[in-house]
Amino acid sequence: KIADQLLSAEHLFVLGRGYGEPIAYEGALKIKEITYLHAEGYPGGALKHGPFALIEGSKNGKFGATPIILIVLDDEHAVFMKTAAEAVRARGAHTIVITDNPAMCKNVADEIIPIPTNGPMTALLATIPLQLIAYELAVRKGINPDVPRNLAKAVTVD
């Protein structure tokens, strides 16, 4: 369902804070590499330095709003990330929240993807839905996710 909604997206942002921040970067990179959709990972606190300027609401009642995926973990950054979700949603973004506490996010998310809680390792579990979104979107676009264009399978060091 989420991959279908992302088919018409021009760009996408993935936001995280704390342990969720590097996961946001990796998730955005994976989406960009195998779907060719412009995707950027941002720290949850950097909204005013990029994503805000690119957020567009839906057009004519159709899905066309800028999708923003937020990793909202039930930790010391939860309130901050919920506030970030409210801020982007108020500007018209379509919010997709990956969280280990769905009840906490029900009022700030258009879509909720639940993940299990596992202490400091919880953020790692958010990589799975991000990878699945990338995979499903690539397939729907007719792209073979196993053969991304212009990417080398090995890195060489001089």
pLDDT in tens, 78-98: 999 999 999 989 888 899 999
With the CA atoms of 109, 114, 120 and 124 taken in that order, what torsion angle do they form, in degrees rounded to the nearest 10?
Answer: -100
Q: Which domains does the chain have, with CATH numbers?
A: 2-140 (3.40.50.10490)
pLDDT recorded at residue 63 = 53
Confidence check: pLDDT of 62 > 50: no
| Count of beta carbons in the 10 Å neighbourhood of residue 60 | 5
Total-model pTM? 0.89
The three-point CA angle 56-83-30 to 5° equals 60
Say if CB 108 and CB 85 are below 8 A apart.
yes
CA–CA distance, 93 with 88 (Å, rounded to integer): 5
Mean pLDDT rounded to a whole number for the chain: 89
pLDDT recorded at residue 56 = 77
Return the DSSP state at 118. B
Which pair of structure tokens corresponds to residue 116? 């299990």
Lowest mean pLDDT, pick from 28-37, 46-55, 129-138: 46-55
pLDDT in tens, 11-35: 899 999 999 999 999 999 999 999 9
